Each structure stands twice: as structure tokens, then as C-alpha cells.
Structure 1
Amino acid sequence: MSAPQLNTLTRLIKLSHLKSQSFVHLNNIATLNVRLSSTTSTANVNNTGQSLVSKSSDEIAVINRKGILTLRLNRPDKKNAISISMYDQIRETFSKAATDDNVKMVLVTGTGDYYSSGNDLASGFGSGMLKSLRAQLQQKDGNSEIKLTPETCKMADESAQLAEQFVNSIIDFPKPLFAVVNGPAFGIMVTTLGLCDNVICSDKAIFVTPFLSTSQVPEACSSYTFPRIMGTSRANSLLLFNQTLTAQEAYNSGLVSKVVPHEQLDQYVESLLFDDKKGLASFESTITWTKGKPLIRDEKEKELLRKVNHKECQEIAETWKSPDFAKAMLKFFNRKK
């Protein structure tokens, strides 16, 4: 066999080996019941033998590397706004990861410039109700009173119930939940940070909960968690008075544990998680996490959080059925024209 033929055969053997490992790894991801695009989700193996997902065109990208499950919001063209299908996938991922012995902890982050722009009004919680509401608004003049139909009210109640289930899946998650806020964060992806076990952020991150401008109320237990994390006045500035928190203000108030220069964020997270000597994945025993987290948030505390979540979602449903919300959405829709 000639030298060129030998080189060609060697490359083909290596390619076959990589494809085999990719197929096995993609099957492992599928067991998490998270949809990854069959056409663009691929896997490869880096020079340390660690399996990686290289890209995905789907809304959620998930990878388990050394027991650390990274859940990446993957709609950069929509600023990682959360759709109904994404809420379902996140909830299902938490449910599977909770009992998967191969998962030590879960990390949530975003693709692109944004962590998340929050609930997607076009395809997220309340989107069906908003479509119905928008149709009614288009038939009204500026002085007409908006009266929601029974069907629209029913959709509001159903959406609030889905929101409650989503937040409960975070409350009940038994393993460490780590958030890496890689950019601006809005709405429910801000309020759920209060339920995470650790949060770090880029210095380009900002935190916005626009409840006042949209005539809504706090969600994801933030009416309980935020005052306890950052104090009543700072929490109210965010939840009630439409104020934005910068990354440094979020750090000073205790919402995040560390602010990292944006250009260093990926390198910092890589070292924090996967450094061979002191990375979180390097610790074989997770007894500190399995025994420690229930001490910090015991069953009594979780039951209280579920009650807070239920009360908030009841108020959210009532808010969505109010004339104030209808008027706020009218302004929003007109602005989007």
C-alpha cells in the first residue's frame, strides 16, 4: 500500500471512530427527553476524550459533561425568549435529571448576547390568550371598554396553571441549580434566579422585571425570595417600580455571587466546572450537595415556596383578565407595528 493510500485509510478509520462516539453520545442526550434537531445537532470528541454537543438549531441545547448538565437557551434570534415548548422541555429536563445518577448538577445559560428576554408573548405563557385579546383590541376604538370573553379568561387561568407547574419544577429540583447569566435578563428568567443555588453573571448583564409597564405582578416566588435576598427596598425597586439592576448592583444586593468580565466568562466557567484539580466536576463525592441542599431549603421551606407560587399565579391570572393588562398590551401591540 502506498503512503497516500495509507494516509487516506487512517483518516477514514478516525472519522468512523468519531461518528461512532457521536452516535452513542446523542443517544445519551435523547434519554433526557429533550428535543435536539436531528439535522444540525452533532457531537464530537475533543482532545481530552470529552463528548460535546457542537451546535443545535432547536430551542434548547443540552449536554452532560462529566456529570454537569448544561441547559442552554438556544433562540438567539429571539433573544432567547421562552416559548411554551421551551418551558415544557426545561421542566422535563429537570424531572429526568433529578433521578439520573449521571447528573450531579444543572447549569442554565443562554446562547448569544442575551441570557433571556423572558416570556415570549407570541408563543409563551398566555400567548393564546393574547392572540384572542389582540383580535378584540383590533375591533375596538381607543375609548371602548375591553370585555374579555369566557374563552379568553379560561386561557388565562390555564396559562397561569402551566406557569405554576414550571416554577414548582424548579422549587422541587433536588440537585444544585447553577445559573450563568451571560447577558441581559428579563422577566421570568430574572425572577427564577431567586430559586437557584448559585448565580454568576457577565458584567454586561442587566436584570429587568417590567411588571409595572405591562400591568403584571411578581412571579416565580420573587415576592418572597427577592426581599429576603436583597432587602425590601431593593427588591421593590425591581419588582414594583420598574427599576433595572446592573450586574454590579445585582452583586451588591446578593442576587449574584460573582460578576465576571464578559470576555472572560466562558474561560471562567470552564475552569470553575472542569479544572482537573479544583473544578466542581472533579469532586467524585456529591454528598455535600445531596445532604447540604435539603438543609438550606428543607421540605418546610419548599412547601412555603409552593404556596407562594400558587398565590402569585392566582394573582397573575386575575391580572391577565383585567382592563389594565388589556390596555398595557394595546400599547405594546401598537408599539410593535
Structure 2
Amino acid sequence: MAASTLKRFITTGIIQRLAVNATRGIHRTVPTMAGVDDKFKEAKNRLNTLKEDPGNAVKLQMYALFKQATTGKCNAPKPGMMDFVGKAKWDAWSGLGDMTQDEAKQKYVDIVDDLAGKETPTSTPSSSEEKTSTSKFQTINVTITEGVYKIMLNRPEKKNALNFEMYEEIGNALREAGQDDSVVLAALTGSGDYYCSGNDLGNFMNVPPDGIADMAKNGGVILERFVSSFIDFPKPLIGLINGPAVGVSVTVLGLFDAVFASDKATFHTPFTALGQSPEGCSSYTFPRLMGTAKASELLIFNRKITAVEAMDRNLVTEVFPDHAFQQETTARVAKFAKLPKQSLQLARNLTRDQQRKVLHDVNQQECDVLVGRWQSEECITAIMNFFSSKGSKL
């Protein structure tokens, strides 16, 4: 039942919207320029140089435009009903209707230009005492400065949404920081105007040939390992919440030792709205931090709270004005990193060691529940409605 629902979701939901998006502007006058072919060829080459994966929805739209630009109106036989990928591609191409080849080329060029314009170059540290290990990672930026291992979520064009690769890379970075003797503490923050927009729902588009059950189980393993990397981190861990935080990026904050937030930050865990359930050990840590009733507002009833409200509920340590956030938190973290390293770690682990087994048990239980949720009709319908609410946004 879940597989058939997913098929309908892919072939009648997203694809129809992509077809509408791609055909918008058919009646708009597109100059038939002598250079349109050259621009199209250049766009094809530029697409291969992009560092960020544009996501399945955009890639599907570009496939359809490429076929329309090079072949014309869809002339291929419709794939069988069980060929989900082939049918998705066919529907996207067929949905372009009578769009001319020149219009398709121009639309293709416009999308590549937009994608290229969104890519943000990684800044190079100026301090001679700072070393970077960004070459190891694609979705995060890591710097090590005077004992501070700073992990910056680095998908600003996606509001730092967590795809499967980012889950793995954050976990790997925390393990690296834990094993590096030069590291006193670690800090997490986000690039751009968001801290993290939560789980990238595009993860649900990558359905393997074996079906949604295997995707759900694999997602559960990735999530369990990700949260475990926070539970087992052996050094102080600080959150620098520079903007809105959603989903798992909020729930794991109960595993941090200090959380500093900009006054522009908000905290939102819309699990039930998406047919899902809490994770990040929040079913255990949130009631302990803020009491059952206040925790339920977030975890069950989807309430979004401000940074000041999060501080009142003991989820945030201190709130700073946004204009002073970077300066204030950098100074605060640097001061912590100058404390005696061994004493700092021993004091921290005395509290964590008492809870570690409980946290791992809670983490496993939460992941088991989520694996079931991801395969449910209710969850798939909620995610379909989420994408529908995005309208023409890709």
C-alpha cells in the first residue's frame, strides 16, 4: 500500500507541478537569438561544474527540458506502471507539451544560471593559527582554531537542510573532533540566515529499487548513528544558533552542554504535522528540561517558539542581539577553550556518563518508531501535502 501511494505521489503530485512550472511562460515571447544554441551548450558544461546537488525535483525538470530542447515534443512510448523512474521522466517530458525547442533551451539556461548564482564560495581563513579540513566534507565546513573545532552546516541555498550526506558528515566530524588531542571543545553553527531547516524532505524522493521499506530502514540506521555521535561525543559541545532551527536540529540540542542563540532564531519541531514522531532523544531530554506540558507543546502540538522562549524553557543558555551574535559567541567559546582541558572534559562526562545508556536506548526506540512512520500512509500523505504547499517552488 505504501509503495502504490508513493508511486501516485511521484507520478501525479510532484511531476504534475514540475510540468506546470516548466510550461509556465510558454506564451511569453522568447527572443530567437542566434546565440541560444551556444548558451545552451555552455549551460550543459556549467551544470557539470556545480558543487551542490540541485535535488531530484530540479534534475527531473532539467531532464525534461533537455529532451524537449534536443528532440522536441515527447515521442517516446510510455513506460510500464512499475517503472517509477522511467514514468516520472516520461511524465515530466510529456508535460511540456508543445513548448518549442528554443523555449526549452532558454528555460534550461535560466535554471543553470539560477543554480550557479546560488552557490556560495567558501571563505579562506586568514589566521595563521587556524587550520581547515573542508576538503574532507562536501556539506559542512570545518575549522580548528586554538582548540575550538567549529562545524558550520554549509548548504545555505537549502537553508542547511540535512540530507543523508550531511547526517554522515556531521557524525564523522564529531568523531574526528573527539579523537583529536588538540581539540578542547566543538561548536556547531549554520551558514547563511538559517541554522538548519531540519530533515531535507528530498531524502524521501530517493526510493531504492527494493522499495520504501529499505529506504526507511536505511534512514533509521543513518539517524541512529547521527544522534549517537552527539551522545558519545567526549568533549564539551556548544550550539551557536544563528537563525531558525527546525526538526532534528532542535531535538539534539538537549544533548549539548551550552546553546547560544541569536534573537532572530526560532525553534520548531513539526513532527505530527508531517506524520512523523520525535527523535534526537527529545522524548527524554525535553520533558526533563522544560516539563511535560511545555515539551508537549513542541513535540506533539508543533508550536514554534522564539529564542527567548527557548531560553525560558532551558533549551537555550543565553540569547544575544543578532548584530552582536558572532562577536559575542566567538569570544565566549574562545574563553571556554582556554580552560584546563582535562578538567573540562572530566567535569562534563561526569554528568553525561550517568545518562549515556538511557540516551542510547531512547535513541534506538525513537528510530524504530520513525522507521514505521516513514512507511505509513499517514506520513506519505503528509509529505505529499507539504510538497503541494510549496506550489511552484523547486
**Matching of residue 255 in structure 1 with residue 301 in structure 2:** no
Give the 4+ runs in structure 1 shifted more than 3 A.
39-46, 55-58
Label 1:77 to 1:309 Cα distance change in 2 as closer, same or farther (>3 A). same
**Matching of residue 310 in structure 1 with residue 364 in structure 2:** yes
Q: What does residue range 39-78 of structure 1 map to in structure 2 within 5 Å?
A: 43-46=124-127, 49-51=128-130, 58-78=138-158
Shift of 1:52: 6.2
CA distance in 2, matches of 1:40, 1:194: 32
**Matching of residue 282 in structure 1 with residue 338 in structure 2:** yes
CA distance in 2, matches of 1:271, 1:152: 47
Matched residue, 1:294: 349
| Higher alpha-carbon deviation: 321-330 or 235-244 | 321-330
Matched residue, 2:377: 323
- Please tell me whether the aligned partners of residues 194 and 245 of structure 2 are also in contact (alpha carbons under 8 angstroms): yes
CA distance in 2, matches of 1:162, 1:321: 16
Shift of 1:58: 4.3
Label 1:101 to 1:127 Cα distance change in 2 as closer, same or farther (>3 A). farther
**Matching of residue 88 in structure 1 with residue 168 in structure 2:** yes
CA distance in 2, matches of 1:163, 1:176: 22
Tell me the TM-score normalized by structure 1.
0.76
**Matching of residue 100 in structure 1 with residue 180 in structure 2:** yes
**Matching of residue 115 in structure 1 with residue 195 in structure 2:** yes
Taking only aligned residues, the RMSD between alpha carbons, in angstroms, comes to 2.3
Amino acid at match of 1:251: M
Q: What does residue range 1-337 of structure 1 map to in structure 2 within 5 Å?
A: 43-46=124-127, 49-51=128-130, 58-123=138-203, 126-129=204-207, 151-274=211-334, 279-283=335-339, 285-298=340-353, 300-337=354-391
Shift of 1:294: 1.8
> What secondary structure is seen at the aligned counterpart in 2 of 1:61?
strand
> What secondary structure is seen at the aligned counterpart in 2 of 1:64?
strand
> What secondary structure is seen at the aligned counterpart in 1 of 2:186?
strand
- Of all paired residues, the percent bearing the same amino acid is 40
Question: How far does the alpha carbon of each residue in 1:277-330 deviate from its partner, in whole angstroms, 9 at most, with x for none?
Answer: xx12333x21222211121111x4111101101000010011111111121122
Shift of 1:127: 4.4
- Please tell me whether the aligned partners of residues 168 and 222 of structure 2 are also in contact (alpha carbons under 8 angstroms): no
CA distance in 1, matches of 2:328, 2:369: 40
Label 1:270 to 1:330 Cα distance change in 2 as closer, same or farther (>3 A). closer
> What secondary structure is seen at the aligned counterpart in 2 of 1:256?
coil
- Please tell me whether the aligned partners of residues 43 and 51 of structure 1 are also in contact (alpha carbons under 8 angstroms): no
Amino acid at match of 1:216: Q
- Please tell me whether the aligned partners of residues 221 and 309 of structure 1 are also in contact (alpha carbons under 8 angstroms): yes
Amino acid at match of 2:187: L
Amino acid at match of 2:200: D
> What secondary structure is seen at the aligned counterpart in 2 of 1:173?
coil
Q: Which runs of 5 or more residues in structure 1 are unaligned?
A: 1-38, 133-148
> What secondary structure is seen at the aligned counterpart in 1 of 2:142?
strand
CA distance in 2, matches of 1:292, 1:224: 22
> What secondary structure is seen at the aligned counterpart in 2 of 1:316?
helix
| Higher alpha-carbon deviation: 257-266 or 87-96 | 87-96
- Please tell me whether the aligned partners of residues 130 and 146 of structure 2 are also in contact (alpha carbons under 8 angstroms): no
Label 1:42 to 1:252 Cα distance change in 2 as closer, same or farther (>3 A). closer
CA distance in 1, matches of 2:230, 2:153: 16
Label 1:77 to 1:281 Cα distance change in 2 as closer, same or farther (>3 A). same
> What secondary structure is seen at the aligned counterpart in 2 of 1:325?
helix
> What secondary structure is seen at the aligned counterpart in 1 of 2:211?
helix
CA distance in 1, matches of 2:305, 2:123: 37
Tell me the TM-score normalized by structure 2.
0.65
| Alignment: residue pair count | 271
> What secondary structure is seen at the aligned counterpart in 1 of 2:355?
helix
Shift of 1:223: 0.2
> What secondary structure is seen at the aligned counterpart in 2 of 1:107?
strand
Question: How far does the alpha carbon of each residue in 1:133-182 deviate from its partner, in whole angstroms, 9 at most, with x for none?
Answer: xxxxxxxxxxxxxxxx9621121111111111111111011111100100
- Please tell me whether the aligned partners of residues 263 and 321 of structure 2 are also in contact (alpha carbons under 8 angstroms): yes
> What secondary structure is seen at the aligned counterpart in 2 of 1:297?
helix
